[in-house]
Chain A
Amino acid sequence: MTEVKLHGVLLSPYVYRVIWALKLKGVPYEFVAEDLSNKSDLLLKYNPVYKKIPVLVHGEKPVSESMVILEYIEEMWPQNPSLMPNDPYDRALARFWIKFIEDKIVAILGLFRSITGQELENATKELLEILQTLEEHGLGEKKFFNGDNIGLVDIAFGSMLFWMQVFGDVVGVKPFESHKFPSLHAWFENFKQIPVIEENFPNRDEYFVYIKRRREELLASA
């Protein structure tokens, strides 16, 4: 069987997306921990364009960009569970929400980078709008974005929501309030209870410490 390796760091929500997809599919893989302050020659060879993690290497063939990796995993190992709908229209909708989530991630970073009170207010407002769109148009009446079972959209959003909450805690805001986003809240609880997700959930405290330190560095240099 061809070897699967995942180059990454556990402090990256993008890496968790790939971990979840591989584990959900039951694909055995080797995790290659990277030191981002001292990137390996292999990483630079496998992802010369961005020099970033995660990179999935399947039998020496590298795939970069987390959502590209996820679609690759889905197509290489289409067996149970399926992480994308079968119908082309539903697939287009799933891809729409994946793109929406990707495009809006910068808003989370905006929260992190906001120095003044006004900047923070603007960033929070933007995040609230994004959550509102997902609450109203994305999830609808479904249990998961993918229907009765989780899929790529759930994975994409779950990792980002986790990350957003940690950033929020660090800068002192709580955009994701349950009374404002009841459907998304219920969704997130269901998501976190999926065995693979529960058993492989990023460590909130480690992320908090790391992001807090980065934030302090940012403020000090401002």
Chain B
Amino acid sequence: EMEGENEVKLHGMWASTYSKRVELALRVKGIPYEYIEEDLRNKSPLLLQYNSVYKKVPVLVHNGKPITESYIILEYIDETWQNGPRLLPQDPYQRAQIRFWASFIQQQLFGSFYKLISSNGEEQEKAVEEVFEKMNVLEKGMKELLPEGVPEVDGNNFGVLDILVTATFGPYKAHEEVFGLKVLDPEKYPLLFSWVQKLNEIPLVKGVLPPHDKLVALLQFIKQNDLKPSS
């Protein structure tokens, strides 16, 4: 391969769950990339140019052309680099199911997480209930999608759902420590819990997830200053 012919850059942020999704995908596929760390309080002019609509990370830049929105980037990576493991199955119905759950995680689950973090008192109690409800739905959905339980995962057998679950729940211990709430409860959500345990053992995942203490410090800072986490 000639230099510059397949230039891949990723504008990301070390604690961003969305950014991690893309890093996981690139590594699973074995795609070499240049990583550019963005300071979200001082976004680079390049980032603002590449993602003029949302001004957010992650942005993947492939041969100078930007792709934004993490889930869209995952599908782009899968369609562009056809060598290596598939991130999505071939079958249209299975793809539809994965897209459905990706959308659920994004809109429903993350929506309820944000409500949880940005509310207090009675509002927050309601938000907690909502989070547990959504987790329930996700657990049930994954049980149906994976009737034989979580398949074996490793660096070569890692799909979009594995990516989403890793990026969302991988750092669960840091979340519990900061927010004092056990969301990934093994008794309530045994499938999701055991899935995350499996994923967190894989070297690929260990190499990508943010360091625990550093993440705790950042989340504490966000919490104390009443900030909203953003990408």
- Which residues on A are within 8 Å of B, measured CB to CB? 49, 58, 61, 63-65, 68-69, 71-72, 75-76, 88-89, 91-92, 95-96, 99-100, 133, 137
Contact = CB atoms under 8 A, between A and B. Distances in A.
A58 B73 contact: no
Given A88-B79, A100-B53, A133-B53, A68 B103 contact: yes
Given A49-B137, A72-B92, A75-B95, A89 B67 contact: yes
B100 A68 contact: yes
Contact of A88 (B53, B80, B99, B103): B80
B141 interface: yes
B75 interface: yes
A91 B76 contact: yes
B52 A137 contact: yes
A95 B72 contact: yes
A133 B62 CA distance: 24
A92 B67 contact: yes
Contacts of B95: 71-72, 75
B76 A88 contact: yes
A76 B91 CA distance: 9
B69 interface: yes
A176 B52 CA distance: 23
26 contacts: A49-B100, A49-B104, A49-B141, A58-B93, A63-B93, A64-B100, A65-B99, A65-B103, A68-B100, A68-B103, A69-B96, A76-B92, A89-B62, A89-B67, A91-B75, A91-B79, A92-B72, A92-B75, A95-B72, A95-B75, A96-B72, A99-B72, A100-B53, A133-B53, A137-B52, A137-B53
A95 B79 CA distance: 13
- Interface of A: prevailing SS: helix
B80 to A, nearest CB: 5
Interface in B84-135: 92-93, 95-96, 99-100, 103-104
B182 interface: no
Interface size class of B (residues with CB under 8 A): 20 to 34
A2 to B, nearest CB: 11
A69 B97 CA distance: 10
A50 to B, nearest CB: 9
A148 to B, nearest CB: 22
A76 B68 CA distance: 26
B73 A65 contact: no
Given A71-B96, A72-B95, 16 more contacts: A49-B100, A49-B104, A64-B100, A65-B99, A68-B96, A71-B95, A75-B95, A89-B67, A91-B76, A91-B79, A92-B67, A92-B72, A92-B76, A96-B67, A100-B53, A133-B53
A61 B93 contact: yes
A91 B67 CA distance: 10
A71 B93 CA distance: 10
A79 to B, nearest CB: 14
Contacts of A99: 69, 72
B99 A71 contact: yes
B214 interface: no
B206 interface: no
B65 interface: yes
B69 to A, nearest CB: 6
B71 to A, nearest CB: 8
A45 to B, nearest CB: 12
Contact of A95 (B52, B69, B93, B96): B69
Nearest to A89: B65
A62 to B, nearest CB: 9
